[in-house]
Structure 1
Amino acid sequence: MNSGEETASALGRPWRAPRDHSGPTFVTGRGAWLVDRNGHRVIDATSGALNVFCGHGVERVVDAYASQLRTLAHVDMSQGLSEPAHRLADRLREIPGHGDDRFFFGNSGSEAIELAVKISSLYWSAVDSRRTDIVTFEPGYHGSTALCQSLSGLPQTSSTPDRCAGSVHHLDFGEFTGPGRRSPEARSHIAGQLRAILAGSAAGTVLVEPFLNVGGGIRLPEGLLGDIRRVCDEYGALLVLDEVFTGLGRTGAWFAQEHEGVRADLTAFSKGLTNGVCALSAVAVGEPVLERLPTGSVVTYGHTMSASAAACAAASATLEHMSATGAVAAAHETGGRLLGALGRELRGADGVLDVRGHGLALSVELDSAHIAGSVQHVAYDLGAYTRQQGRTIMLAPPACLSGEEEDRLADHVVTAVRKVVAAR
């Protein structure tokens, strides 16, 4: 794996030391493939930053973005509106279950989470001003701003000051990696903990990820999201779903909440919106929340590039491409085959703790972060670019993956795991 350390650069990087230039430098991407500056081709099992869901270089999306840039790039949404923003909101309403939602646009997943928290706070200011607290879950992750890190439940964000109006209650999910952790008893225990917090605190909002992405590539136990919805209803709490990673196809449904028939009060999403062409995020807010907001209230949010006309045009083109190519169904089918192939070869193997997946979000959990790092490097040399989260190798390839590419990816990961474990 190309270290990149020989190149002097003024570049600073997220989640890295200021002078850390390790890792490959890429020059081109097409479909499911990336090419680094040494000419090495790899299957992109990271989908960019988990946001290039349809594959690199989708002409429909690129052309829509470029065309809109030539026509009208941006207007300030606090002062005026753009036709592409109207069209995108209307197009999102066509997704089943969201026909009465209103969509507020931002730039990033972190912005979407902050906006969802602001809207929930505005709601409670009218309904019951005492309910200022928020319940989140460990090891959840909700973004990199100060507020979002205070809502997250990961060691790397635990030193961030609490920036919420009320308190943040972190409920421990535990590790859902063994069969017992997925049992009805585990679900019942978590639901009971949530019930106790809502009954004994000022909490009015519950924030949860349907799939713990940064927290280790873990799907919540089947039925748990429905349990959380029912407990929220029992105590009149708002359910905010962080679908920044899972929203728009990644799990084989338009939104991960669909798998359990759950409907959130507010849904934050981002990564799937523009296929990586530009920054855009959104919060879907249901009518029951909107109708209870204080009369004449203003949602105090907005950034310079929020809902740019060009980004909205790219997003509409992305949704059109997804519908035309059956990308959501492909995520379900391809993800199922990949999980089967990886599970047959690696589940129960030496050094492997678990193999799991949810659509095109798959994880191979190993017995140490060191082993996972070595597997990532070997897989890259073989031709697969994967993502390491602690001791877990995550695979989140684009939905355009062909059958041959699917087989190659599985083979490269299996070979890398076996090679690294055998050599230790």
Structure 2
Amino acid sequence: MRDIAVNKVSEDQSKLHDVHSDKTESDYSKVMEYTQQILQLIEKEELSREDSEWIREETLNGYRDHVNPGYLFSRKTVDLSREFAFVEWRDRRNSFIDVDGNEYIDCIGGRGIYNIGHRHPKVVETVQNQLKKQAMHTHDLLDPYRAVLAKTLAELAPGDLKYVFFTNSGSESVESAIKLARKYTNRSTFVATTASYHGVSLGSLGATAKAHYRKPFLPLAQSFRHAIFGDVDMLYKMMKTQEMVGEEVAAVLIEPIQGNAGIKMPPDNYLSEVRNICDEFGALLILDEVQTGMGRTGKMFYAEHENVVPDIMCLAKALGGGIMPIGAVIATEKVYEAFMDEPYRHEHTFGGNTLACVAAIATINVLIEERLPERAAVVGEYMLRELRAVAARYPKIVQEVRGKGLFIGVEFFDSVVGFDVSKGLFDNKILVEGTVGDVKTFRIEPPLTIEIEQVDRVIATFDKVLQDVQQKYNFI
């Protein structure tokens, strides 16, 4: 009987081998050869001219044929003066280097992920050390690093925020916060603010308030109302109205500074007043600190500027140090109890994975050791002051320069002019971030490690580009 079973297994293995061999010969050989070529390029410290040309061609073809050709016409990827795409290859602490070896000062900061700079050696070393032992957790056993990181964030967060749920991105953090608020309050109506951006997954998109993102996907999954950002009277009336019609608000979701809207600043004491309104109506306050967190505005979290403690806070982007993607939702114990009875009801396969957690632990260590939130406050104040001084010389071009810490927006009177200024900076090897669908305002969001000499170069180049634009359009 045993011999029959062994023979059957051998026959099955033989058949499997034959099938695998056929597919390898017919389908896999080209993929094997192509990926091997890529792996050999990854091993190289320096690229030859032929390597650079091949990478650029493969990148362009890949985006056109298999990613999305729309990216090829984005200002961020196309140098219009040479009519080919900008293809990045490696980086230094505060800069990117393209496949041709050109170096660009990074004033985008990966849309906020590079707060501690690119490839910080402490974070890289920590991830490499962990990778030698274990990359991912099993899920069935308890992961020590998730526990350690949760405790660290609870110590770092304002007030009585205590329990942490880990995600992979800002959108996932917002989704998790929405679900937690719904379960805790047993309410389904939410309030966000106009011009807000909280993600583009179907749940978080309900909170995002830009028609550009929303219209193609209406109706949305969540019941969101939108009050004008900064208008506490409107918010109060909206909360009262919802109460009167029996649709009490579960939570108010707010970006302390609206990044995607062009670094739109709140009025003084805005968060404090929103906190009071939430308390009056029994609603939770959710702060989306995905961009403003981890030292970006001059404190570890923007909430500290107003001494406001939310019920739930969302983090992502810079939490992983630009090495690993990781997000987090931090809540008070009272609120988080809604997730405690059945912890597996809401989870992610990769959320809080081992490599991401050790990267975040190292990132927090670096932020504190190098005093980067304090540095963002000092360097940001200097950069903001100097940019405003330059802008004042071009009153018909620049409408406003605003921001907090190293989270700065430059708004122009005209989108075409704004594009020309962004393009001029790009041509002078400085990357800035235009608002999606509109470059009337661009963002300056560099690593918090940016050197003063680099800041001075950005300011001088900004002045030079504005001079060129003034002559081009004959502004007097």
Cα–Cα, structure 1 residues 143 and 14, in superposed 2: closer, same or farther, change >3 Å?
farther
Give the fraction of aligned pairs with identical amino acids, expressed as a percent.
27
Cα–Cα, structure 1 residues 214 and 233, in superposed 2: closer, same or farther, change >3 Å?
same
Q: 2:209 matched to which residue of 1?
A: 153
Give the C-alpha shift of residue 190 in structure 1: 3.7
8 Å CA contact 1:61–1:317 kept in 2: the answer is yes
Cα–Cα, structure 1 residues 294 and 408, in superposed 2: closer, same or farther, change >3 Å?
closer
1:314 aligned onto 2:359? yes
1:387 aligned onto 2:430? no
| Partner Cα distance (1:18, 1:339) in 2 | 31
| Partner Cα distance (1:299, 1:266) in 2 | 20
| Partner Cα distance (1:20, 1:5) in 2 | 15
| Partner Cα distance (2:172, 2:203) in 1 | 10
Cα–Cα, structure 1 residues 214 and 323, in superposed 2: closer, same or farther, change >3 Å?
same
Please give the secondary structure, in 1, of the residue aligned with 2:268.
Answer: coil
1:112 aligned onto 2:173? yes
Give the C-alpha shift of residue 281 in structure 1: 0.2
1:240 partner amino acid: I
**More displaced 10-residue stretch of structure 1: 230-239 or 194-203:** 194-203
Q: How many residues align?
A: 401
Please give the secondary structure, in 2, of the residue aligned with 1:93.
Answer: helix
The superposition leaves residues 339-359 of structure 1 with CA deviations (integer Å, 9 ceiling, x where unpaired) of 000111104622111110111
8 Å CA contact 2:399–2:412 kept in 1: the answer is yes
1:237 partner amino acid: A
1:65 aligned onto 2:127? yes
1:302 partner amino acid: E
Alignment of 1:156-167 (within 5 A): 156-159=212-215, 160-164=217-221, 167=223
Give the C-alpha shift of residue 69 in structure 1: 1.4
- Pick aligned residue for 1:352 from 377, 388, 398: 398
8 Å CA contact 1:84–1:309 kept in 2: the answer is yes
Q: 1:409 matched to which residue of 2?
A: 458
Give the C-alpha shift of residue 329 in structure 1: 0.3
Cα–Cα, structure 1 residues 14 and 113, in superposed 2: closer, same or farther, change >3 Å?
farther
Q: 2:60 matched to which residue of 1?
A: 8
- Pick aligned residue for 2:240 from 186, 191, 196: 196
Query: TM-score if structure 1 supplies the norm length?
Result: 0.88
Please give the secondary structure, in 2, of the residue aligned with 1:263.
Answer: coil
| Partner Cα distance (1:193, 1:32) in 2 | 46
| Partner Cα distance (1:147, 1:187) in 2 | 24
| Partner Cα distance (1:17, 1:271) in 2 | 24
1:189 partner amino acid: D
The superposition leaves residues 179-213 of structure 1 with CA deviations (integer Å, 9 ceiling, x where unpaired) of xxxxxxx7453444444344334322111110111
Please give the secondary structure, in 2, of the residue aligned with 1:267.
Answer: strand
**More displaced 10-residue stretch of structure 1: 280-289 or 22-31:** 22-31
| Partner Cα distance (2:293, 2:391) in 1 | 28
> Where in structure 1 are there 5+ consecutive unaligned residues?
126-130, 174-185
| Partner Cα distance (2:69, 2:326) in 1 | 24
8 Å CA contact 2:239–2:249 kept in 1: the answer is no
The superposition leaves residues 288-334 of structure 1 with CA deviations (integer Å, 9 ceiling, x where unpaired) of 2134x287244632222111101100110011111110101001111
8 Å CA contact 1:45–1:396 kept in 2: the answer is yes
1:258 aligned onto 2:304? yes
Please give the secondary structure, in 1, of the residue aligned with 2:63.
Answer: coil
What RMSD, in angstroms, separates the aligned Cα atoms of the two structures? 2.3
8 Å CA contact 1:149–1:158 kept in 2: the answer is yes
Q: 1:399 matched to which residue of 2?
A: 448
| Partner Cα distance (1:328, 1:219) in 2 | 19
Please give the secondary structure, in 2, of the residue aligned with 1:284.
Answer: strand
8 Å CA contact 1:147–1:162 kept in 2: the answer is no
8 Å CA contact 2:367–2:373 kept in 1: the answer is yes
Cα–Cα, structure 1 residues 107 and 96, in superposed 2: closer, same or farther, change >3 Å?
closer
1:375 partner amino acid: V
8 Å CA contact 2:119–2:322 kept in 1: the answer is no
- Pick aligned residue for 1:17 from 70, 82, 98: 70
- Pick aligned residue for 1:334 from 351, 376, 379: 379
1:283 aligned onto 2:329? yes
Cα–Cα, structure 1 residues 399 and 16, in superposed 2: closer, same or farther, change >3 Å?
farther
> Where in structure 2 are there 5+ consecutive unaligned residues?
1-55, 79-85
* Larger RCO (CA under 8 A, 6+ residues apart): 1
8 Å CA contact 2:59–2:87 kept in 1: the answer is no
Give the C-alpha shift of residue 20 in structure 1: 4.5
